[in-house]
Amino acid sequence: MADAKVIPFGEEPRSRRKVKRPGRGGRRTALAPVPEPRRQEAPEQPSGAAGASLEQRIAGGLRFLRRRLTGEYEVDDFGYDEELTDQVLMSVLRPLYEKYFRVEVKGIENIPADGGALIVANHSGTLPLDGLMLQVAVHDHHPAGRHLRLLAADLVFVLPVINELARKAGHTLACAEDAQRLLERGEVVGVMPEGFKGIGKPFGDRYKLQRFGRGGFVSTALRAGVPIVPCSIVGAEEIYPKIGDAKTVARLLGFPYFPLTPTFPWFGPLGLVPLPTKWTIQFGEPIPTDGYPAEAADDPMLMFNLTDQVRETIQHTLYKLLVQRRSVFF
């Protein structure tokens, strides 16, 4: 699907947007003097702009609902619904991102303005909120307005409701074929190679990176010739401190683990509320891969070296951010 500019919620497309002409009180250029406008013809209406904005938002919302009901919207061959993601899903996640976790983003300029790129990040937090916050960070802060396409575990795509939402948000199965297709199409792809080993590790092992698999993400980046951008996330480790694992329950439910935290399951549904930690997401300098020959993707030693380089970069940045952090919550 060709890239299309998404209309912000409640806004008219630029091609159809009405340009406001200067009112009677506006500045004019004329050959003859223009009489001074009477005050009663242009009274101050401080709420007028807000009212117009509200009307535009309502009209935009109605147009959005009409498109959804009539099916006049597009999804790509992975199921990604860009309009729904921009106007609904991001709007739902943004308060959590801005007000609750108060995410600070550094180095966003290290993500290329165009073309494919592979973002490799650490994974933590018991529940995968870090991936969602990473998606908001790229969406809201990148100057080119890029979208992050996350690679997710197969468990995500067998859960009811979650499966559909993940597809709509642009997530796809973490396999080399899908990742390479996205990268060759010029997308920004995100991967968290620690997988369940990272997100489900005990609280005592926080900020200690787990094994990065067999380096498949490096091979994919080499084949596509795109840069690898290391990403370090601080703050997610403390949202659900995992102090135990009910393995029998996990096996019954088919989950890789069933976490026990200071609040869950002891406080019931309230125990699912994450702690309001302060987050920092830092994107490191990109590691280029386009200078390697085509056969480099099949070189196990090269893959090992690049994987280790990415892992060490992320780990070093995590330690640096932790030293700079004054408090878990502030």
Over the chain (330 residues), the average pLDDT of each successive run of 10 is 43 41 40 44 41 75 80 85 92 96 97 96 95 96 95 91 92 92 96 93 94 87 96 96 94 92 92 95 96 88 93 97 93
C-alpha–C-alpha distance, residues 320 and 75, integer Å: 40
E-assigned strand segments in the chain: 104-106, 117-121, 148-152, 172-173, 188-191, 228-234, 244-245, 259-260, 280-283
- Give the pLDDT confidence score for residue 232 in this predicted structure: 98
Topology, domain 73-239+274-324: Glycerol-3-phosphate (1)-acyltransferase (3.40.1130)
- Give the pLDDT confidence score for residue 18 in this predicted structure: 38
Domain boundaries, the chain: 73-239+274-324
- Give the pLDDT confidence score for residue 51 in this predicted structure: 47
**Is the CA virtual torsion 247, 205, 95, 115 positive or negative?**
negative
Contacts of residue 173, defined as CB under 8 A and 6 or more positions apart, other chains included, come to: 151, 152, 154, 157
Joined tokens for residue 307: 């994987």
Peptide bond into 46 cis (omega under 30): no
User: Closest by alpha carbon to 206, among 317, 293, 122?
Assistant: 122
With 0-12 CB in 10 A as exposed, 13-18 as middle and 19+ as buried, what is 190? buried
**Which run of H or of E encompasses 62?**
helix 48-70
In tens, the pLDDT along 222-264 reads: 999 999 999 999 999 999 999 999 999 999 999 999 999 999 9
- Give the pLDDT confidence score for residue 7 in this predicted structure: 43
